[in-house]
Each structure stands twice: as structure tokens, then as C-alpha cells.
Structure 1
Amino acid sequence: MADRQDEQGLNGPEEYAGSANEIGVRPDVNLLETFLENVRKGQLRVPKFQRPFVWRPDQMLDLFDSIERGYPIGSMLLWETPAALESLEHVGGLAIPDVPPGQSATYILDGHQRLSTLYASLYRPAASDPIDSTDWIWHIYRALGQRDSRANRYVHWKHPSAPPPHYLPIRSVLRTLDFLAYARNLAKTMGDDPFYDELIEEAEQVAQRIKSYKVSVVTLLGGNLAQAVEVFSRVNSKGQSMSPDQMVSALTYKGSGEESLANSIAAILDRVAAEGFGEINSTTGFRALLAVAGEEEVTGARWDVLARRMEGKVSQAVQDTDVALSRAVAFLRDDLGVPLARLIPYNNQLMLLTLFFHLRPEPSAEQVEVLTRWFWITAWSGRFASVNSTTSRQSIQDMRAFADGKKSLPEFAGTQGMFDFADQRARPYPDRFDLRSARVRAYLLWELTEFPLRTTPGGRQYSAVEAIRRLDSAAFRRISNKTGLPNGSNPANRLVLEVNPGLTARSYLHDLRHSPSGLGDLGIPDMAFDLLAAGDDERFIDLRAAELARRERRFIESVGAIVPRTYTGEAEIDTE
């Protein structure tokens, strides 16, 4: 530890926390029911610095499936301490009582998502029905009689009507009276069914497996918050260690009713998403906030040291980031034609734009022009494909100097920095459609600008962006579904369309070409369409790809970028 402190020039977490108390560790194995009873009694709590519940419905169902099969679900990391941390008053909408008088609380550090899923689903009272639009996610059922198919053993029930009688409500498995009530209801509806006894036996087995499931628990004893977070940062749960924003959030959380750093960032990103720009990941928001707060090391810092530097600056940094991020999003959307967060080629571009608009809320026309070139050229060239702490720090320094007016564009030339456009050549048109590739996302941004509208065979126009916003990746429809095509994965074989059951993209093009509105301009030369109509799908894709690459190349030249040497290239997977 001394070597690390000397390298950083700052003290480690023990001194940061102002305590020399050592932290103890107690491994244990608890019955699931016993573990959750501690939540019901108010003894096991979720600290407010934890990020909100973010699990997807399928993750919740997989958790119960793993428990029934006896698979490990990862250790729960707890912290038992006399320190009174502010904690959540509700878990999954269920009220949690106060800590019993004279007892110390135990806080969950790693396992919040699992604990919330289990507690809010298993302890949900039957009186919470009927399901409303907000709490359906906690109503999980085990479909009996489904053999051993993982895909349909556990399900959510979203409908206002009652679920089928063979759907065992998970909330009944820990409560004997509720389980008996379910069994009686099942007897009323299908008691004469020859499979009734089998269903009841299966339900009993499910309940027994869940009740007898044992949870691995590691409890940290004593110590201070910095020490607990240090342990947390080194523990992996299903391959995911504690994220930097969680660590700094915990170490800077002061309670007194204020939001934690992680929750404040989540609130900013939720607002941006609600305004139609879509979801920005929390790591990007965290890095943007650090840059706005004056930090240059945003990718690999000593998070305990960073937390100490951030003390007293969190509240203002949150406010500044909220304003600056809004300006950055407006620039992306209105000036660059980037309609959705998921289409930004690199998250670092958004982080750096947020920093710029914090420092320069009203940029000059020249700065806007340079930023436009910078965005496209770094997107095409793969400038941020392999960012490390050194290149990230240099990019932040470059953007600060540019925003402050300390350097103009000519002064950046030859510096090997991110504004050295002469050293950045656009990568070629991608040969494979894969949204994990920044080059593919850059291509899609150009395509949406080049062909913004779609027309139904009936003549109704709609926005391609709106189709993506509603349908996500399902909007990118394959034109040819022939197997074995060597170029079948090329972007030229994709078309953004609304989903119309029974109407393939190929049929859509055929119907549209013969409709009064006509095919319009979708980057499909007449000769290419003739090839498609004749069944020569491979040559159709090649011809359309050549047309799209030619048009995109023209746009690349208009921005002043160096065009690629070759016609096509590999769509490198380079999402940060």
C-alpha cells in the first residue's frame, strides 16, 4: 500500500476516512428465507448511495431459474457497522421498517439488484393485485407443466386479467397460507384434470427448492466506509466489479437528504432520455461530470483519492454537468444530425463535447465549424477506438485549450492531438453491419441524413429516426434473407423500415416501386433494383454498396477529411 501511496503522492483510503480501525471479514451461508427475513425486519438495508434498481425483466427471471436449478447466484457482500448510513425506505415498492432499537444495521454493498428482485417478488402481498403499469415487473410466476424449457419456466404477467391457473405466483412460495390458497384455487379450476396432481407436486418442488436455497454471504465487520468500498472495488459479482461512479458516489455521500452522486447522474441521464435522445450509459455521464469538475484523469484514477478531491464540489459539478450535457446534446441533434445517443460513434465524443459546452456555452462560428469537423473525422478515423488514461487526459487538455481559445485550429496541426486532422484518415465503408462498430454508427448517421424519410406503399411518409426510436435494432430490416450470400451482412442489405407483419423489406421495395409515390431515393440505383427483381441478390447488394460508398465518400470529402485509400474495410468492433 505504501508504494501505491507514494506513486499517487496522496494518502490511501485509511487516512482518507480518518480511522485506523481494521475491517474484519465473516463468510457465511444462509438460507434464502433467513437472508430475506433480515430485510423484512429492517436489519439488512440498502444504502442510498447505491444506484437505483436497473435490472431488466429477463435478468430477474433468470435469477429465479438459477435458484430453482440450484445454480450459484454469486456472493452477497454486506457491511455490518454501527455507523448510521441513510438507506432506502422502500425496496421494490415495499416499505422497510426502521432498524430495531439497540441493534446495528447491516448494509448491502454488492447484491442490491439480486436482493431487490428476490425480496420485492417473494414478499409481495396478494393485496397488491391488480397489477398496475408500474409494478408488473415484481409479479413473477412459475409456469407449471412447461417441462424443462428455460425460456418459459418463469414469466412476468403484465395483463389486467388474472393469469392462467397453472401460473404459480412466486410471492406464495415462502408463505404456507398463500401457497395453500393457490392450491385450492387450482383445484377449483382444474381439479378434474388428469394432470392436476402433477402440477401440485411440481409446485411443491418449486417452493421447496426456493425455500431451501442457500445464499453465500460475506459480511465486512467494522471499519469505515472507505475501507468497505475498497473491499467492494476488488470483489467481482458475475464478472462485474464495483463501477467507478459507485465508488466515488459512496465515498462522497454525506447523507442529510441529498442525492448520492450516482443517483444525481442517473437523474440527469433519465431527463435526457425522456426528451427523446435515448439512454446514455452511466459511465459516460460520470466521466463527463469529472471533466466538468476540472479532473483530467477520468478513466483509471485512484477512486478513493479522486473522492477526496471531489469533496465539496459534487453539488456544483452536478448542476454544471446537467446544463452542459443539454447543450452538447442539442449540438449533436441540431447541428450534426445525431438523433439518438446510441448512434454516437464514441462515448468519449459526448464526454468531450459536454466539457466544451461547459467552458464555452456560446461558441463562435469558427469553433462550431471545427467541432463539426472534429466529430466526423474522429468518428471515421477511429480516433477513440483504444483510449487509455494517457490519451484520454491529452484529449481533455486539447478540448480545454480549444474551448478557452488558447489555441486555434492551425496551432493544433502537427501536435499529434485530436485536432490534428491532417493525421487522421477516414476508415473505408464498412463491409459488415454491426452496431458495436463506431464506423457503422458513423455510416448510419450519414445515411439518416441522406435518406431521412420513408414512404409506405400507401403514400404515407414517416421518419426513419422515429422508426429506430420505436423499434430499436428491429428497425434495420434485411432486404435479402438468402442464406450463404458472401455479402449478406453488408450494410447495403439493410433498410430502416417500420415493422409490418407479413411484409418483408424485399416486398416493401417491390410494392413501393410500383406505387404512385414511387421508390424515392434510398440509395438503390435502378440497375440494382432490376437485379433484385431478377433474384440476383448478391450483385444487388454489391451495386447498392458501391452507390452508398460513393455518396458517403462525397460527404467525407465535403467535411475536409482525408478519404480512405480502399473501397471497403472491416467493421471493427470498437465500442468503448
Structure 2
Amino acid sequence: MGEVSIRSLIEQVRQGQLRVPAFQRGFVWDPDRVAYLMDSIYKGYPFGSAILWQTKEKLKSERRLGPFSLPEPTADFPISYVLDGQQRLTSIFGTFQTDLEPDDGETWPRIYFSLSAAGDLQESQFLALEDGEVDPRRHFPISTFFDTTAYRKATSNFTDEEAEVIDSVQSIFKEARIPTQDIVTDNRGKVAIVFERVNRLGVELDVLQLLSAWTWSEEFDLQTRFAGLAEVLAPFGFGEVGADSNLLLRCCAAVVARDAAPNTLMNMSGTEVRDRFDEIENGVRGAIDFVRSHLHVEKLGNLPYPAVLVPLCVFFAHGKGKSRNVSDEQRAVLVKWLWRSFFSRRFSAGVLRNLKRDIEESVKLREGRPSALADVSVSLHADFFLERKFSVSAVDTRSFVLLLVNARPLSFVSGSPVSLQKVLSSYNRSEFHHLMPQAFLAKEDIGTASASVLANFAMISAADNKTLGGDAPSVYRSRMSSAKVDEILKCAICPKNVFDDDFEPFLQSRAEMLVEAANQLMS
């Protein structure tokens, strides 16, 4: 067992020495989980070791570290590839580094230490906050801890007593050590076994990346074909599908063998997949066109579960010179299945089992035989919208957003239709705001956590939100189009009692309306 300091971790990434192999899945932690990790480090709680594979050979295919592109190695060091602990190392690096900017307009959550939070053993003293949520009098940006100039500037706004508290927090992170286990070998077979074993209780699809990176590399260059597909899909906003080897490998296995499990791929040859790749490509294109047309999905990140593209790919797969005509009955079944999959959280667990069943049922539906594809059990209650917090990266939030989209929302100020393509293509927090503003709720002694549940959010642009301000709904109503208020509320799936300024009754009414709207889509 070894260990590495946070500063050393940052420096290794800067030098291109610490890298992420392509067969790892991407960064999936939400901002709150990053904040909880910081709290665990601060309180000295165990947070697990990282497994690093040291090798002299740089892999041809690698991943970014979260949203950050990794620099090329600056010296002839052995390279360390992360086999386990990527989420933790990415969280630590992204929180404290100040040199690299996230790619393509992506963002990294800003983590703050709350000086007003009690030193509770259970509750986190670290928060992931949007700019509008930060109180500079009690929230300190921990991103400055390893940047002397920025730290000095940030602490200047606090009293000497507060600065001492912040200094003590900083010292803990400066002294913190991340446990590591190092595997020094150039034997990829050994690395494959280690990786498969440490991920055995994790996400099954990680093994598919191993298969793509090594097993088929000489016989069939899948990565090149996937890159070509990405170029075709990019104009439609789905170029990232072509870059998701895990997802496409599942589509390959599903079309060729009607099963997306790793062992299915291991028993197929690259030649078999190559010979049917046109069929697979057509299936992927058909699946994407369907979710764009019927759910207004503009990019992969809008889908609560990208795995739904696999059974859809099987349904739409066809060879050259053929086409796939979809009847109204088939279309209704597919749409119902999609909504039921989202709100039942179907692909949060038992992914391979559910995929196998859905693939089989999609084949039956395609062939005109009786299909139980849409027979997915789901019981949706108001608690879904009352207990879950809004976070654009969370599965339930994505389902909620698609529900709002389906109602064809209107501008809260002008009453004109919202440009859904623009909102979903950028898909960031700035297009969604509280129906009962946080500033108003704070005066009613209602905290941020309660204010940030799904039921209190609507598709409200940053410009509209600025016009409405932080006033009570009964006050900002006068800034809305008077002739279209009722229609605006209807298209936001929002009850009229929002203007009563009574938070709890409003939340309950809104949640019940959302449940009713979702059930209509699933019925």
C-alpha cells in the first residue's frame, strides 16, 4: 500500500503521468457526492484506496479525467492508469486544480466549506452550490486551498477568527493522503483480470470496454467505425453516442446475438460484427431519430437511461436497401415502454437482465407478434417529486425534465413557446428555476434543501427568472403576460395555488399534477 498527497495528485495529472484507460466508464458522480467526499476527507473518514496500473506503454485509447482533457506526458515517467478509484481521484483533482478548463462548455461543481454548519458527525459541512446560492459571508471556496494567491484573496473577506477556522480546514487537506495500491506490469492479461475482479460488483459494461480495447483490436477496428458513426450523428446532437463504446458494443451484441451481456460479445468474432455493422448503424440511427421525434431528446445526456437505445436499436435495425416502417400501434408501445422505463428506474439495477427481456420483446414487436415490451410495472407517487432534489446530472431530474418538455412549456414572461431544442441541446441549470424563489422562501424560514425539490422547479430561462426576481409568486405574477397566465401554468404543469404563496400546499398540488401527467404518458 502506498499513498499520495492531494498536491502530488494534481501535479501528476498536470505532467500527464496519471491517466484513465478507455475501458473505464466515464465520470458519473453528482455534485453532492463530490461534496460528501470532501467532508469525509475533512473528518478523517475512510474513503477507499485507488488501484493504479504502472506501465511504460501509453495506451492508444484513453478517457478524459471527468470533463478535463489530460495533457500529454511531459517526461519519460512510468504512466499510472487508474483501474479503480477514478470517481474519487477525479473529484479531488477537479475540486482543487486551477490550471485546466473543462472541455466543450462543461462545468465542474464548485464546492464550499460552510462556516455556519455545525460540526456534526453525520451532516456534511461542505456544499456544492450554484453562483446564485453562495453567501460570501459564510461559504468559502475550497478550490483555493492549493493556490496561494487565490487563497490569500479569498480569506481577506473574513474576520481573523473565521480565517483561523478556514486555515485549520485547509491544513487538513494539505496533509491528507490518498491510499493507493500499485500494480507494476506490462502484462495486459494480468491487468484485465485485476480490472474485471475489482469491478465484478460494479457495472457489468466495464468489461465490454476491455473487449473493445484489446480482444478485437487486431481483427476489427471497432473504434474507427464508432468514430465514423459519431461524425454521422454529430449534426443531430448525438455525436457522443459514437464515442460511447460501451453503449455501441451493447447495440452490436443485441442486434447480432439478441443479448447485450459481456459473455455474448466474447463468443462473437469481430468479423461477425463487421459483416452486420451497416445493420447496427441503421438501428442506432433509427433509435436516435425515434427519441428525438417522440420525446424531444436532443442529445444523449437528455436520456435518463442511455441503455434504452439498445432495444430500440434492435427494433430499428435493418440492412442496406431495406427500411423499417413503424405502425401507430408499434409507436405507442415504444413510447409507453420508454416512459415506464424512466419512471420505474428500470435500468438502475438488473441492467443486463432487463435488457435481455426488452430486446426479446422488441424483436416480437418488430415482427408483428404479441409483445409485452410496455408491460413494465411502475408505481409513481407524489414523493418522487417531493423528495428528490433537482440536479441536471441526476436520472430522476432528467425524467422530470422530459415530462416538462412533453407539456410544451411557455415563457413565464411573454407566454411564447420555449425553444426546446436550444434548452435541451445546452441542458444546463440556467434554464430551470424555482417556482417559489429561494429568496422568498428564505424569508419564510424554508431552507435551500426543501426549496430545491423537483416539484418546485419549472423550465424558466435565466432571462425570465431575472425579470420575475426573487419575489413571492403573488408579486411576480404582475410581470407575466396577463392574458396567458393560465396557459403558462398549464404548460408548466403548475397549479394556480402557486400564487397563494403557501409553500407546502403548493408543493403537494404540483406533485400530484406531475404524477397525473406522467401517468397519462405511461397509460
TM interval, shorter chain, is 0.5 to 0.7
- Find the counterpart in structure 2 of residue 434 from structure 1: 385
d(CA) in 1 for partners of 2:176, 2:501 = 61
- Find the counterpart in structure 2 of residue 298 from structure 1: 260
Q: In the alignment, is residue 75 of structure 1 matched against residue 52 of structure 2?
A: no
Q: In the alignment, is residue 218 of structure 1 matched against residue 218 of structure 2?
A: no
Give 5+ residue unaligned stretches, structure 1. Answer: 1-26, 159-163, 173-178, 484-489, 564-576
Q: Is the 8 A contact 2:51 2:82 kept in 1?
A: yes
Q: What does the per-residue CA deviation read over 1:200-235, in whole Å, with 9 as the maximum and x for residues that have no partner?
A: 7964x5565345333322233548434423332333
Q: What does the per-residue CA deviation read over 1:229-279, in whole Å, with 9 as the maximum and x for residues that have no partner?
A: 33323336xxx95533332212331479x9986996999599669828999
- Find the counterpart in structure 1 of residue 73 from structure 2: 96
- Find the counterpart in structure 1 of residue 194 from structure 2: 231
- Find the counterpart in structure 1 of residue 160 from structure 2: 195
Q: What does the per-residue CA deviation read over 1:509-536, in whole Å, with 9 as the maximum and x for residues that have no partner?
A: 78768x2446338659xxx969987999
Kindly tell me: are residues 252 and 34 of structure 1, through their superposed partners in 2, closer, same or farther at Cα, counting changes over 3 Å? same
d(CA) in 1 for partners of 2:53, 2:499 = 64
- Give the residue type in structure 1 aligned to 2:183: L
- Find the counterpart in structure 1 of residue 144 from structure 2: 169
Q: Is the 8 A contact 2:51 2:181 kept in 1?
A: yes
How much does 1:470 deviate? 5.4
* Corresponding residue to 2:418 among 454, 462, 467: 462
Q: Is the 8 A contact 2:498 2:506 kept in 1?
A: yes
- Higher Cα radius of gyration: 1
- Find the counterpart in structure 2 of residue 378 from structure 1: 337
SS in 1 for 2:183: strand
d(CA) in 1 for partners of 2:103, 2:58 = 35
- Find the counterpart in structure 2 of residue 309 from structure 1: 268
- Give the residue type in structure 1 aligned to 2:21: P
Kindly tell me: are residues 505 and 427 of structure 1, through their superposed partners in 2, closer, same or farther at Cα, counting changes over 3 Å? farther
Q: In the alignment, is residue 399 of structure 1 matched against residue 362 of structure 2?
A: yes
How much does 1:77 deviate? 0.7
d(CA) in 2 for partners of 1:135, 1:447 = 24
Give me the identity figure in percent: 17
Q: Which has the higher contact order (CA 8 A, sep 6+)?
A: 1
d(CA) in 1 for partners of 2:91, 2:511 = 48
Moved more, 377-386 or 538-547: 538-547
SS in 1 for 2:385: coil
SS in 2 for 1:519: helix
Moved more, 369-378 or 462-471: 462-471
d(CA) in 1 for partners of 2:302, 2:109 = 34
d(CA) in 2 for partners of 1:393, 1:440 = 26
Q: In the alignment, is residue 47 of structure 1 matched against residue 21 of structure 2?
A: yes
- Find the counterpart in structure 1 of residue 136 from structure 2: none
How much does 1:374 deviate? 1.3
- Give the residue type in structure 2 aligned to 1:418: A
Kindly tell me: are residues 110 and 186 of structure 1, through their superposed partners in 2, closer, same or farther at Cα, counting changes over 3 Å? same
Q: Which aligned pairs between 1:302-451 and structure 2 lie closer than 5 A? A: 302=263, 306-307=265-266, 309=268, 311=270, 324-335=283-294, 349-359=308-318, 363=323, 365=325, 367-379=326-338, 385=346, 389=352, 392-400=355-363, 402-403=365-366, 407-408=367-368, 412-413=369-370, 417-418=371-372, 424=375, 431=382, 433-434=384-385, 448-449=405-406, 451=407
TM-score if structure 1 supplies the norm length? Answer: 0.57
Aligned residues: 478
- Find the counterpart in structure 1 of residue 449 from structure 2: none
Q: Which aligned pairs between 1:515-526 and structure 2 lie closer than 5 A? A: 515-517=482-484, 519-520=486-487
d(CA) in 1 for partners of 2:29, 2:89 = 11
d(CA) in 2 for partners of 1:285, 1:46 = 18
d(CA) in 2 for partners of 1:543, 1:135 = 33
d(CA) in 1 for partners of 2:235, 2:194 = 33
SS in 2 for 1:359: coil
d(CA) in 2 for partners of 1:377, 1:89 = 35
- Find the counterpart in structure 2 of residue 248 from structure 1: 208
- Give the residue type in structure 2 aligned to 1:306: L
Kindly tell me: are residues 88 and 165 of structure 1, through their superposed partners in 2, closer, same or farther at Cα, counting changes over 3 Å? same
Kindly tell me: are residues 138 and 170 of structure 1, through their superposed partners in 2, closer, same or farther at Cα, counting changes over 3 Å? farther
Give 5+ residue unaligned stretches, structure 2. Answer: 133-138, 389-393, 446-452
Q: Is the 8 A contact 2:111 2:143 kept in 1?
A: yes
- Give the residue type in structure 2 aligned to 1:212: E
SS in 1 for 2:410: strand
Kindly tell me: are residues 363 and 157 of structure 1, through their superposed partners in 2, closer, same or farther at Cα, counting changes over 3 Å? same
- Find the counterpart in structure 2 of residue 289 from structure 1: 251
How much does 1:298 deviate? 1.9
Q: Is the 8 A contact 1:49 1:249 kept in 2?
A: yes
Moved more, 539-548 or 305-314: 539-548
- Give the residue type in structure 2 aligned to 1:169: T
Kindly tell me: are residues 117 and 319 of structure 1, through their superposed partners in 2, closer, same or farther at Cα, counting changes over 3 Å? farther
- Give the residue type in structure 1 aligned to 2:76: V
How much does 1:393 deviate? 2.6
d(CA) in 2 for partners of 1:441, 1:471 = 12
- Give the residue type in structure 2 aligned to 1:462: V
How much does 1:358 deviate? 2.6
Moved more, 496-505 or 538-547: 538-547
d(CA) in 1 for partners of 2:225, 2:37 = 25
d(CA) in 2 for partners of 1:335, 1:461 = 18
Q: Is the 8 A contact 1:79 1:109 kept in 2?
A: yes
- Higher-helix-fraction structure: 2
Q: Is the 8 A contact 1:79 1:219 kept in 2?
A: yes
Kindly tell me: are residues 372 and 293 of structure 1, through their superposed partners in 2, closer, same or farther at Cα, counting changes over 3 Å? closer
Q: Which aligned pairs between 1:5-24 and structure 2 lie closer than 5 A? A: none
